[in-house]
Chains A and B, each alone.
Chain A
Amino acid sequence: MRLRGLVRKEFLQVWRDPSSLAIAFVLPVFLLLLFGYGVSLDAKHVPIGWVIDKSTPETSSFMAAFQHSEYFQTRHYPNMAAAKQAMQYQDINAIIHLREDFSRELFQQDSPAIQVIINGVDANTARLISGYVQGAWNAWLTHLAEVRGITLSSPVIAKQRIWYNSAVLSKDFLVPGLIAVIMTLIGALLTAMVMAREWERGTLEAMIATPVTVGEVLLGKLIPYYLLGMGGMLLAIGMAVFLFDVPLRGSFWVLLLTGTLFLLLALGMGLLISIVSKNQFVAGQIAIIVTFLPAFILSGFIFDISSMPDAAQFFTYLVGARYFVAILQTVFLAGNIWPVILPNAAALILMGGVFLALAVKKAPKRLE
């Protein structure tokens, strides 16, 4: 009866408090829409300036290969000076310069004179453009050779195949990872704030003077926010699969089960933070710094962990979201790969156990 009363109270409070509602529902949807539609790590319709000193059938054919690609958008400039100025004004991200002797040298030497200048300010985009141009150039050369029946001077051409996310769509990789971020928001941030609020408003003082047990106080917080967190997860999975067409190759039940493990970890951290800090503002700040930001930055959700410096990589092992992001990306895009899922799930169980145990140990049945 006591527990039921506490759970009901908690739901009523979330429902009446606009800021709780915002964290529990509005922010997740906003993040999903932002990452599903807005943020893209792919280069598409990149404007490229062309400077062609002398137009020939070969230059037109090469350019056509770019014009038909959805990755590029071509613009023409009469000379290098004009193209350089356009690059300075950020109208274009790269310049391809085909010199006068392009056609003549095409089959005479090892490679013809093609000059590619890329704006390196945004290193990520620059690398992408470089890769795409290289690919387009190779494809065009192969095609040309086939048409003319000539063997190329470089005999081996790497043929790439990309598995699991064959279209290399960044949303397919971002949206599953985002689920971990959303569950961190509800599990840790929201939980930390509501518990700290009870300290601040003196309601906890009145509550713990009743025959309520520590277990009931904690479960009274865990159950509502567990349900909210799983609701957030279902919402995110639903939007991922039905709105953003992210494939779900593994099992839905594996997602729910590992999601539960991760949520318990997040809830444990949230409760511990609020028990220790006793102040809404401080609890919110700590929750953002130790749970939300790491889930964003250090979990492999956006930035690849293996390319981080060693010290940063070391820290990622302390970030629970890291294990869950690995599971999410695997289950969504690759399937039920047990050698990946099991060790990560074990890490979640271990961390969750530690934080929940600490929360129970520090939980208040008295005021100090």
Chain B
Amino acid sequence: MSDSGRGNADNALEMHGVDKYFTVGKRSVQALQNISLSLSRGAIVGLVGPDGAGKTTLLRIAAGLLLPDTGTVRVFGHDTERQVMRVHQMIGYMPQRFGLYEDLSVDENLRLYADLHSVSLADRQQRFQDLTRMTGLAPFTRRLAGRLSGGMKQKLGLACTLLSRPQLLLLDEPSVGVDPVSRRELWNIIEQQVKTNGMTVLLSTAYLDEAERCTEVLLLDEGELLDHNSPDYFKNAMHGHSFLVSRSDLSNRALQNSLTGQTGIVDAVIQGDRVRIVSAGEKLPDTLLLQPDDDRLTVTAVEPRLEDAFIARLRERRAALLPQRNITTTVSVVEEEVIRVDGVDRWFGDFQAVKKLHFSVRRGEIFGLLGANGAGKTTTFRMLCGLLPASSGQLRVAGVDLRTAAAKARARIGYMSQKFSLYVNLSVKQNLTFFSSVYGLRNNRRRQRIQWALQQFDLQPQQDTSSGDLPLGYKQRLAMACALMHEPEILFLDEPTSGVDPLARREFWNRTNQLAASGVTVLVTTHFMEEAEYCDRLVIMMDGDILTTGTPSAIKQQVRSKALPNPTMEDAFIHLLEARQS
């Protein structure tokens, strides 16, 4: 690669032979391997890949915040090593946590970034007005950034990076922890900026439906750039591989569970009231449950999604890591209530976080709580786990009244919190040992359970790694293992998959399905709309209220209309929120 050329200044970003190493502990880890790419002006490029693939490193290198160990990086022809100032004048970069000063107000944050980018005073007022109007932040300019909701923070972070009209916008996971309404607004803003200002955008995301809205997709895995193409290219390669199936004699979960990991089946996930499968060939795989002449079977060939391609490409590289076929006897759902919530309120001072909640959960169900940030999901969870007392109303968990016997109930439940509650300085095995001893397991029993956890959650190779150094998906697995050490009857999972890549999410749902099939009741909160489809039943919450309760298909049925013949869960969610707000 000749270094003499100035590169093509028409390309927003060019990388040639970029390698990057980090030292973790005593080992040197290669974060990026021989990356070469060029992004043309005006493209919206999605950077996708599993956790730990090197997405953040790639963005930081593009922003000139890290230098490659070998290779060159140019932004509009400017080298990020020698002309970093020029590069920084042309880019807008938003790090993962938005880079906002939480103790400054919206206005003050904007002024700071306007100063940093030397936006002229004459231009400034107009710019502030445009951006606050576009992001819907206009009524909140005096509010401290720390008091904004996740979605508003993200929009403020974006507004700060857009102030200087950057020519290249670099966004690191802009939509993690942000509800679907805010995600839609974010995309509208980005697309409008590209159209009006000719901006180029590179953004990393764990949400493949977002990546489908991009004009180009970069697929990164273990530091290697596997492909760089349009979303359609990825999808076309999968043409004829995707099917929706269902069987009249099996529940979707049982069907999905049986199909997962069978030869010829790359992927099997629940989608709505069907099971979506990705076949290795261009026809239905030849297995017992999918014989075309079986009249209990319904099959529809469907258009592939980007996610199908993503899973197929990554599974190819992980042939050895195919999920084992799990033989579990499916227990029929017993109509026995294990959780009953009756008229529960919760106040914090004069703020009512949860209002007159009513619902019940049966044994072996996967029950979902869906809602935007601040809807009251976590508060509800904490009350059900006996961590917070209810202000009024009745809570019964595993047949025990939480007001009188919270400790007794707690011995029968497992709880995995949003932040995973792991001891980051302890190794994987030490964490497991600690949690099993907290639950009172001893000697043989403890050894057995630790062995079980290491095996079941594929943590054997990492057993001596500090849990703080694990990629997000591994942390999630370890946290779930810790919550299961004492074999609880009821498992509470608070935002278990936030920011976790699609591959890890599949493994997670596989395990959860197996648990439910063996009779464990699972309660899960999520703002991942697709994941709501994995639930047997769910409630949608907003501002502490339940908007609706039911099975996923019943909820979607509510919003079906001529304009929207096949609503997704996200459509239903947004529709319900808007109906309430108006």
Contact = CB atoms under 8 A, between A and B. Distances in A.
Contacts of A16: 103-104, 144
A122 interface: no
Contacts of B94: 206
A166 interface: no
Interface string A1-38: 11011101100110011000000000000000000000
B96 interface: yes
Given A206-B93, A208-B65, A201 B115 contact: no
B65 A366 contact: yes
Given A9-B108, A211-B85, A211-B117, A366 B64 contact: yes
A174 B89 CA distance: 52
Interface string B92-131: 0111111111111000100111111110000000000000
Contacts of B89: 211
A207 B65 contact: no
Interface string A38-75: 00000000000000000000000000000000000000
A252 to B, nearest CB: 36
Contacts of A210: 88, 113, 116-117, 164
Interface in B41-86: 60, 63-67, 84-85
**Centre residue among B100, B115, B160 by max chain A CB count within 10 A:** B115
Interface string B154-187: 0001001100100000100000000000000000
A240 to B, nearest CB: 33
Interface in A51-110: none
Contacts of B144: 16
Interface in A112-132: none
A262 B415 CA distance: 53
A279 to B, nearest CB: 13
Nearest to A198: B101
Nearest to A207: B116
Q: How large is the interface on B (under 10, 10 to 19, 20 to 34, 35 or more residues)?
A: 35 or more
A202 B160 CA distance: 14
B515 interface: no
B79 to A, nearest CB: 14
Nearest to A366: B65
Given A201-B97, A366-B65, A12 B116 contact: no
Contacts of A203: 99-101
Contacts of B108: 9, 12
B432 interface: no
B99 A6 contact: no
B255 interface: no
B91 interface: yes
Given A211-B88, A367-B66, A368-B66, A5 B101 contact: no
Contacts of A6: 112, 115-116
Contact of A213 (B85, B95, B97): B85
A278 interface: no
A31 B125 CA distance: 46
Given A202-B97, A206-B98, A210-B88, 10 more contacts: A4-B115, A6-B115, A202-B98, A203-B100, A206-B94, A207-B99, A211-B85, A367-B60, A367-B65, A367-B66
14 contacts: A2-B118, A6-B116, A9-B104, A9-B108, A17-B103, A201-B97, A206-B94, A206-B161, A208-B65, A212-B88, A213-B85, A366-B64, A366-B65, A366-B67
